[in-house]
Amino acid sequence: MTLQSDALSALPVTALKGVGPKSAERLARLGIECVQDILFHLPLRYQDRTRVTPMQYLRPGDEVVVEGEVEHVEIRFGRRRSLLVHLSDGSSRIILRFFHFSAAQKNNLKAGLALRCFGEVRNGPACFELIHPEYRVVEENGMAMAEETLTPVYPTTEGMHQISWRDLTGKALELLNSSEQGLQEWLPDELLQAYSLMELSAAIRYLHRPPPDAQQQLLLDGVHPAQQRLAFEELVAHQLSLRQARQLQRRKQAPRLSGAGYLRQGLLQALPFELTGAQERVLEDISADLQQPVPMLRLVQGDVGSGKTIVAALAALQAIEAGFQVALMAPTELLAEQHMKSFQQWLEPLGVDMGWLSGRIKGKARQEVLQQLADGGLSLLVGTQALFQDDVTYHSLGLVIVDEQHRFGVHQRLALREKGSSGRHTPHQLIMTATPIPRSLAMTAYADLDLSVIDELPPGRTPIQTLVISDARREEIIGRVRTACANGRQAYWVCTLIEESEALQCQAAEDVAQELQEALQGLAVGLVHGRMSSADKEQVMAAFKAGDMQLLVATTVIEVGVDVPNASLMIIENPERLGLSQLHQLRGRVGRGSVESHCVLMYHPPLGQQAKERLAVLRESSDGFVIARKDLELRGPGEVLGVRQTGEMQFRVADILRDQPLLDTAREAADRLLSAHPESVQPLVDRWLGVNTRYAGV
């Protein structure tokens, strides 16, 4: 445990009156273990029970408190037996409707009784109704206490009622008020003042029991100063935890990879093109890092087609020349194979020994590769995640390159660092991604990495024309394919289907390939999908690349990396099913040569308003950053970062899209804490990421 744990974080929930082992167990399911955790369990929304609304002002949908006198009570036998209580306050009348009621309840509700009720207003056949309202009798002498604060509604779990939550948080707040230390304020005054932040305990009190005049809309939107105060602290805590991971890494030793650069020169001289300024700049960043005795952790962002692969190859040569091994990992077999091809073409003439490893390499072949790797016979290993299975040992791994890292989550990324370590050396890491996310977001999501951006495309590319066309015009589109191929071009036809069903997706692609082959007599139509053996896939891809095949029908397996410059037309079926960034990646398969390319987004009508907007973004922009930002607005950061399934980048209070204005200041604050208030770092991380980081420490 940390030494400076604050009082309420050391106090188990069972310290609260009325919380026994059973409730403790329920709370534990929500990750709530101490009193502090209860205080950080914040309401989803609020009810206003502080005012009585005159019945004449009721509107359907409102949650209200009303007060009135019972006029009469009846039981209706309709489709469902119900108890109706007619209530009037002089301004108007309403009905309370109960489907479940006891005889006692019915007998107690007599004409003349004054009731105070809370519920949601619904339209009824005769007048407004409250269905199963909470109610109580108002005593003769009147003035039943109205609530003094807005009533919180908490996120909950089975077996926990709102009443229990209110009770629990009420007790925790009492403790907060009476305990000396309360909730330790870990943000120093200078920061609170600099950013005009509320004090922590005040923010917590406010959010659990807002005053009647609180601005509910701000609270609902999560932008109330009390919420922003917490969001800010949470973002700071996340920054700090990623920085810790980074510092930990920095304390490790990495081999200095330096040399005369003759291998690199050799490759540059053999290339048919010159590096772009952006490629050179990024390569310089990498070269400098590789010469340091601490492990590089660098993310290279570059739009589709910006030429990340050659940068990776040049980085690899620096390591190889220094006598170390390089591992290049790609998310899919197809992409890994293509890298293998490029690297063979580039590096083999320089005498570099390369190996290949994927999940499909088994038995003897696998043993052989592993052996060569272990005794240093291989300088470069290309493959999929298989590169980092437990039985893979490297002789002297100096550099790990991960392509299209958005396919791997943060945890995988961190785990990889451990695996690559051998003896006293930790390899350098180069991570490449084509998902161009806005810089402030990138620096939040990847605070443990340094960032380089290839912000320039190689010269001579003609922009891709994108068209959004209904599949009612399928025949016409097939005609377009025929014309393009007759003119010596090649085309992709991409079939999309819901991802969960790979089998269906492949079947659909097979059907489409057959249909198109029949419609396009005389053209060679190929097919690649995820269920084909890599040998088969490779054969088809090779034939397509060589121009022996004019049309390639494919599933989204071709999403990343495939490179055939003569292909200038892409049809994407049902693009509305895919994310914008993914579509942008797909589209990046064309427009790689000098002829003008087209991408047809062939949607299935009717298209919703949002889908229309999304496709229009693609039609109007070819800038990955613009597209990613739009995608972010329309779908949220989880999707765009590709981490939604793994639940990463999920915050308790913060929302990195909504709170973008806080991101930069949270980073500054994290810097300040690390340099001037290191004692606050661990408690903040524990408070906000407690469970996860504790796991990591086990």
What residues line the site for Mg ion (CB under 5 A)?
561
> Which helix (DSSP H) or strand (DSSP E) does residue 96 occupy?
strand 93-98
Determine, following the binding rule CB under 6 A, whether residue 586 of this chain makes contact with ligand ADP.
no
Give min distance, CB of 154 to Mg ion, in A. 46
Tell me the C-alpha distance between 588 and 304, whole Å: 6
Do 551 and 481 form a contact (C-beta atoms < 8 A)? yes
DSSP 8-state secondary structure symbol assigned to residue 267: H
The 591-610 contact track toward ligand ADP, x by CB under 6 A, reads -x------------------
Q: Which of 213, 243, 207 is nearest to 225 (CA)?
A: 207
- Contacted by 305, from ligand ADP, Mg ion, none: CB < 5 to 8 Å by type: ligand ADP
Nearer to ligand ADP, 295 or 588 (CB): 588
Q: Strand (E) positions, 354-478?
A: 354-357, 380-383, 397-403, 428-433, 450-454, 464-470
Determine, following the binding rule CB under 6 A, whether residue 262 of this chain makes contact with ligand ADP.
no
- Please report how many Cα atoms fall inside a 13 Å half-sphere around the Cα of residue 562, on the Cβ side: 29
| Joined tokens for residue 291 | 């010469």
The 402-441 contact track toward ligand ADP, x by CB under 6 A, reads --------------------------------x-------
Piece in contact with ligand ADP (CB under 6 A), picked from 73-81, 165-173, 297-305, 621-629: 297-305
Residues 441-470 that bind ligand ADP (CB under 6 A): 458
| Joined tokens for residue 590 | 């064309």
Tell me the C-alpha distance between 556 and 573, whole Å: 11
- Contacted by 307, from ligand ADP, Mg ion, none: CB < 5 to 8 Å by type: ligand ADP
Give min distance, CB of 304 to Mg ion, in A. 7
Among positions 32, 42, 70, 304, the unique one binding ligand ADP when judged by CB under 6 A: 304
Nearer to ligand ADP, 369 or 382 (CB): 382
Tell me the C-alpha distance between 18 and 527, whole Å: 66
Nearer to Mg ion, 383 or 561 (CB): 561
Piece in contact with ligand ADP (CB under 6 A), picked from 167-175, 202-210, 298-306, 531-539: 298-306
Piece in contact with ligand ADP (CB under 6 A), picked from 37-45, 176-184, 272-280, 670-678: 272-280
Give min distance, CB of 328 to ligand ADP, in A. 12
On the 0-12 / 13-18 / 19+ scale of CB atoms within 10 A, 183 is buried
Among positions 201, 228, 241, 306, the unique one binding ligand ADP when judged by CB under 6 A: 306
Nearer to Mg ion, 295 or 561 (CB): 561
Q: Which of 378, 402, 406 is nearest to 392 (CA)?
A: 378
Nearer to ligand ADP, 43 or 307 (CB): 307
Piece in contact with ligand ADP (CB under 6 A), picked from 22-30, 273-281, 357-365, 417-425: 273-281
Nearer to ligand ADP, 310 or 681 (CB): 310
Nearer to ligand ADP, 309 or 444 (CB): 309
Nearer to ligand ADP, 241 or 279 (CB): 279
Name the residue with the smallest CB distance to ligand ADP: 307
- Contacted by 62, from ligand ADP, Mg ion, none: CB < 5 to 8 Å by type: none
Tell me the C-alpha distance between 624 and 634, whole Å: 15
Nearer to ligand ADP, 43 or 591 (CB): 591
Long-range contacts, stretch 589-593, CB < 8 angstroms, 24+ apart: 589/492, 589/558, 589/562, 589/563, 589/564, 590/464, 590/492, 591/305, 591/461, 591/462, 591/463, 591/464, 592/305, 592/461, 592/563, 592/564, 592/565, 592/567, 593/565, 593/566, 593/567, 593/568
| Joined tokens for residue 661 | 């204005």
**Residue partners of 393: CB distance under 8 A and separation at least 6:** 370, 373, 374, 422
Among positions 305, 624, 637, 690, the unique one binding ligand ADP when judged by CB under 6 A: 305
H helices present in 501-608, as ranges: 502-519, 534-546, 580-587
**Residue partners of 578: CB distance under 8 A and separation at least 6:** 496, 556, 572, 586
625, 629, 634, 639 alpha-carbon torsion, rounded to 10°: 70
Give min distance, CB of 467 to ligand ADP, in A. 23
- Contacted by 505, from ligand ADP, Mg ion, none: CB < 5 to 8 Å by type: none
Nearer to ligand ADP, 241 or 338 (CB): 338
Piece in contact with ligand ADP (CB under 6 A), picked from 208-216, 267-275, 539-547, 576-584: 267-275
Determine, following the binding rule CB under 6 A, whether residue 384 of this chain makes contact with ligand ADP.
no
Give min distance, CB of 455 to Mg ion, in A. 16
Do 149 and 49 form a contact (C-beta atoms < 8 A)? no
Give min distance, CB of 674 to ligand ADP, in A. 34
H helices present in 156-199, as ranges: 162-178, 189-194
CB atoms within 10 A of CB 217: 9
Give min distance, CB of 308 to Mg ion, in A. 5
Tell me the C-alpha distance between 238 and 685, whole Å: 7
- Contacted by 275, from Mg ion, ligand ADP, none: CB < 5 to 8 Å by type: ligand ADP
Give min distance, CB of 610 to ligand ADP, in A. 28
Tell me the C-alpha distance between 588 and 120, whole Å: 52
Nearer to Mg ion, 198 or 278 (CB): 278
**Residue partners of 452: CB distance under 8 A and separation at least 6:** 281, 282, 285, 286, 298, 299, 300, 301
Piece in contact with ligand ADP (CB under 6 A), picked from 231-239, 275-283, 284-292, 597-605: 275-283
Tell me the C-alpha distance between 231 and 332, whole Å: 36
- Contacted by 420, from ligand ADP, Mg ion, none: CB < 5 to 8 Å by type: none
Determine, following the binding rule CB under 6 A, whether residue 308 of this chain makes contact with ligand ADP.
yes
Strand order in the sheet with 354-357: 354-357, 380-383, 325-329, 397-403, 428-433, 297-302, 450-454
Determine, following the binding rule CB under 6 A, whether residue 309 of this chain makes contact with ligand ADP.
yes
Among positions 68, 210, 302, 624, the unique one binding ligand ADP when judged by CB under 6 A: 302
Residues 541-570 that bind ligand ADP (CB under 6 A): 561, 563
Determine, following the binding rule CB under 6 A, whether residue 279 of this chain makes contact with ligand ADP.
yes
Q: Is the peptide bond before 21 cis (omega within 30 degrees of 0)?
A: no
Q: What residues line the site for ligand ADP (CB under 6 A)? A: 273-276, 279, 302, 304-310, 434, 458, 561, 563, 592
